[in-house]
Amino acid sequence: MINNSVLTSYIINFSTRLQSIKLSGYTSPSGPTSSDILFQTTMQIYENSTICPIIPNLHYCAFDASSKESNTCFGDSGGPLMYSSNGKWYLYGLTSFGFTDSSGNCLNTRSSYFTKVPRYLEWISANMNSSGNNDSNAWLICLIIINGLILNA
């Protein structure tokens, strides 16, 4: 439901290259616990193998190199990777996965990966229009994309 707390977002053209981008989620920066507060951080998109040892064709790699104090963690999956331009927010990716240490703590010193939403625009459009129940289709499509179940869209 769209209201003052839930707004729509534009989906960015796949060819647009960004360097700085916003990530939001409900996992506390101080540990892998959920919060009632929506946190936000600025991350950088990287395409080199030193910072991003895994660069799947279906994911963006992002990292907060400036502080190394914020990153994705448990509970952030599916959260938006967005940027703002001319007063509009654009969806660039969805939180897919990050890394943990041997104790299961989220690592702020490693990159995180985000599903490339623009890669799926044609597929999303086709599936949203395939039946009259667009609300159910939208949730299913989001779950499929977040969990990486689309291998070759």
Q: At the topology level of CATH, where does 10-119 sit?
A: Thrombin, subunit H (2.40.10)
Domain extent listing, the chain: 10-119
Q: pLDDT at position 18, please?
A: 56
Distance between CA atoms of residues 48 and 61, nearest Å: 9
Query: What's the pLDDT tens digit per position in 131-153?
Result: 555 555 555 555 555 444 443 33
Predicted pLDDT of residue 132: 57
Is the pLDDT confidence value at 19 over 80?
no
Helix (H) or strand (E) holding 41: strand 34-46
66-112: per-residue pLDDT in tens? 666 677 877 788 888 888 777 777 778 888 888 888 877 778 888 88
DSSP-assigned letter for residue 28 = -
Residue 117 in tokens = 């939403």
pTM score of the predicted model = 0.69
Neighbours of 18 (CB within 10 A): 17
Instruction: Summarize the confidence of residues 12-34 as an average pLDDT.
Output: 62
